[in-house]
Chain A
Amino acid sequence: QKEVEQNSGPLSVPEGAIASLNCTYSDRVSQSFFWYRQYSGKSPELIMSIYSNGDKEDGRFTAQLNKASQYVSLLIRDSQPSDSATYLCAVTERGSRLTFGEGTQLTVNP
């Protein structure tokens, strides 16, 4: 079983819709959770971090964490074509290596 699993994708949504990206992790000691956005040919860019159960909102992005279910998600509201990218879920124990999922490719159609 992979340590971090994401929707296999690709995911395609129309402009203005909500995009929902999901991630599950296997290691119960994981304490910190991150979403990175990666455009084709570029490096990962941190867009959200979440450390405690519940929701965290930042602009059009909402991260949701449920440690009991070992589940973290990212919602993108009012999706724009510029949101088209691969979204990487990453988890870590305290201040150490990030373990990434394989990523979900999102396409927002105008």
Chain B
Amino acid sequence: GAGVSQTPSNKVTEKGKYVELRCDPISGHTALYWYRQSLGQGPEFLIYFQGTGAADDSGLPNDRFFAVRPEGSVSTLKIQRTERGDSAVYLCASSYGTSYEQYFGPGTRLTVT
């Protein structure tokens, strides 16, 4: 079946602009996760949804970052007033019910100039 999809694959934006990154999880997966990965590092947790609600948003670095999942499927990660330090690959993963195996999408490479 189809895997996790993310759009766009690449996003270049200017410092101070607003960006939205989209994630479409594997069909039927109730849990959705956002991570970001900087070069040479492992992915770093941002936020986790179980259904429509954010079960754990403790990884969001500050209030410029926000994520939603209004219908329990597609999620959007929103970043306001982007900074150069936000440049990274943003990864989305999903898992099914009580299964703990998370499957990653291809990622969105965000570059803030």
B-binding segment of A13-21, A61-69, A74-82, A87-95:
A87-95
Given A100-B42, A100-B43, A102-B40, are A95 and B106 neighbors across the interface (CB < 8 Å)? Answer: no
- Interchain CA distance A36-B42 in the complex, whole Å: 10
Number of B residues whose C-beta is below 8 Å from A?
26
Q: Which residue of A lies closest to B50 (CB)?
A: A95
Q: Which residue of A lies closest to B35 (CB)?
A: A98
Contact A88 B42 (CB under 8 A): yes
Chain A residues 30 to 67 lying within 8 A of chain B, measured CB to CB, are 32, 34, 36, 42-46, 49, 51
Contact A44 B40 (CB under 8 A): no
- Is B80 in the interface zone, CB < 8 Å from A? no
Given A99-B45, A101-B42, are A34 and B91 neighbors across the interface (CB < 8 Å)? Answer: no
**Nearest CB in chain A: distance from B10 CB, A:** 12
Number of A residues whose C-beta is below 8 Å from B?
24
A-B pair number, CB within 8 angstroms: 56
Contact B48 A97 (CB under 8 A): yes
**Nearest CB in chain A: distance from B28 CB, A:** 16
- Interchain CA distance A59-B105 in the complex, whole Å: 24
Contact B48 A96 (CB under 8 A): yes
Contact A49 B101 (CB under 8 A): yes
Which chain A residues border B31 with CB–CB below 8 Å?
95
Contact B98 A43 (CB under 8 A): no
Contact B105 A46 (CB under 8 A): no
Contact A44 B33 (CB under 8 A): no
Which chain B residues border A101 with CB–CB below 8 Å?
42
8 tightest CB-CB pairs across the interface, nearest first? A100-B42, A97-B45, A32-B100, A43-B104, A43-B107, A44-B104, A100-B43, A102-B42
Q: Using CB atoms and an 8 Å cutoff, list the residues of chain A in contact with chain B.
A: 4, 32, 34, 36, 42-46, 49, 51, 88, 90, 92, 94-103
